[in-house]
């Protein structure tokens, strides 16, 4: 059996400065979508305020370079090994929801939590999200690379179009107004890791309808879906205006 990338070591060679590492206790992650009382995307003050704020992209750029670029890279492209997601061109609403959920303990992210809470307030969340949303999506997404790639991608496409396209879009471009993320341009190994976490109830803030759909997939099917999603980034230029891919070199 082959689950390439299923075990992705989050090996961070980056030194997080001691003052940041000491920043506040990690909130306990609530049971999220595994909890019968869980209400997906329930409103709470910080998220609402950030969504309502008008983001200042240049203030966001400064914060991004100070607190985020060390891991997510100045381009936003993250790491093809799946340890760090690609963020560039993600919908502003999605970025705000994910950041606010991480800060509120609704989505576990112990690696990033100390940095996420460096953002001072809802305005700072709106600023950084506004900036990241303006970045073009790099074309170097990590791909599924194995001799059976063509077969996996074809199978994954069939599954994705049946169960996922209605929310994430057939091109993987998500829906800003509904908080559905862009998936096109994301790394294979990160996608696979998230899908396993979502299926196994480890990603607290996931949409219950998605959890229900993914629950029936085995690891091999999640590999195929991830291989297909990652392949969306290899399409020729101009296949979609949203999301915006960087021009080929
Ligand atoms: C120490 C490394 C590190 C730093 C610094 C960092 N992040 Fe992250 N970030 C991560 C990791 C690792 C994940 C993925 C967590 C997971 O696997 O669930 C992540 C996930 C995210 C996500 C969710 C992405 C998605 O696809 O759902 C967002 C949004 C994000 N980071 C934004 C930021 C912002 C904004 C900053 C700066 C304030 C920042 N990150 C700083 C490591 C980091
Ligand atoms: C009902 C709409 C809906 C459906 C159907 C759905 N998703 Fe999602 N998906 C979401 C939302 C919303 C999120 C963001 C997590 C959150 O905050 O709830 C998400 C997150 C994700 C992520 C993590 C992205 C990231 O950047 O971390 C992946 C991967 C994903 N979905 C894949 C899938 C796949 C594969 C399917 C089909 C089997 C699917 N989704 C079906 C709404 C949906």
Percent of the chain with pLDDT over 90: 67
Ligand 1 centre distance from Cα of residue 149 (Å): 28
Q: Per residue in 111-148, pLDDT tens? A: 888 888 889 999 999 999 999 999 999 988 999 999 99
Rounded average pLDDT over 81-95: 96
pLDDT band at 14 (very low <50, low <70, confident <90, very high): very low
The predicted structure's pLDDT at residue 240: 52
The predicted structure's pLDDT at residue 110: 85
Ligand 1 centre distance from Cα of residue 94 (Å): 13
Whether the predicted pLDDT of 105 surpasses 90: no
The predicted structure's pLDDT at residue 157: 97
* Cis, bond preceding 243 (omega within 30 deg of 0): yes
Kindly report the protein residue whose alpha carbon is nearest to atom 42 of ligand 1.
112
Q: Is the CB of residue 113 below 6 angstroms from any atom belonging to ligand 2?
A: no
Q: Per residue in 170-214, pLDDT tens? A: 989 899 999 999 999 999 999 999 999 999 988 888 999 999 999
**Out of 30-39, 225-234, 236-245, which region has the weakest mean confidence (pLDDT)?**
236-245
From 202, 204, 189, select the one nearest 98 (Cα to Cα). Answer: 204
Q: Which residues contact 104 (CB under 8 A, 6 or more apart)?
A: 27, 44, 46, 47
From 61, 57, 86, 104, select the one nearest 185 (Cα to Cα). Answer: 86
From 78, 65, 60, select the one nearest 130 (Cα to Cα). Answer: 60
Contact 197, 150 (CB under 8 A): no
């Amino acid at each position: 059996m082959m689950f390439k990338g299923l075990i992705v070591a989050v090996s961070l060679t980056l030194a997080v400065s001691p003052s940041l590492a000491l920043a506040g206790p990690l909130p306990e992650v609530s049971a999220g979508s595994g909890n019968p009382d869980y209400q997906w995307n329930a409103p709470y003050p910080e998220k609402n305020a950030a969504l309502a704020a008008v983001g200042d992209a240049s203030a966001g750029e400064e914060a991004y370079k100070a607190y985020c670029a060390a891991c997510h890279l100045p381009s936003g492209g993250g790491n093809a090994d799946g340890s760090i997601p690609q963020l560039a061109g993600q919908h502003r609403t999605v970025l705000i929801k994910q950041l606010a959920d991480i800060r509120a303990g609704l989505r576990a992210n112990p690696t990033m939590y100390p940095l996420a809470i460096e953002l001072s307030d809802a305005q700072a969340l709106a600023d950084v999200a506004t900036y990241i949303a303006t970045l073009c999506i790099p074309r170097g997404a990590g791909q599924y690379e194995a001799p059976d790639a063509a077969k996996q991608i074809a199978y994954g496409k069939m599954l994705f179009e049946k169960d996922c396209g209605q929310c994430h879009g057939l091109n993987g471009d998500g829906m800003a107004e509904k908080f559905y993320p862009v998936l096109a341009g994301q790394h294979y190994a990160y996608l696979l890791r998230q899908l396993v976490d979502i299926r196994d109830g480890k990603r607290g803030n996931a949409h219950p309808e998605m959890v229900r759909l993914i629950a029936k997939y085995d690891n091999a099917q999640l590999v195929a879906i991830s291989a297909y999603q990652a392949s969306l980034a290899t399409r020729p230029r101009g296949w979609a205006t949203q999301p915006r891919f960087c021009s080929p070199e």
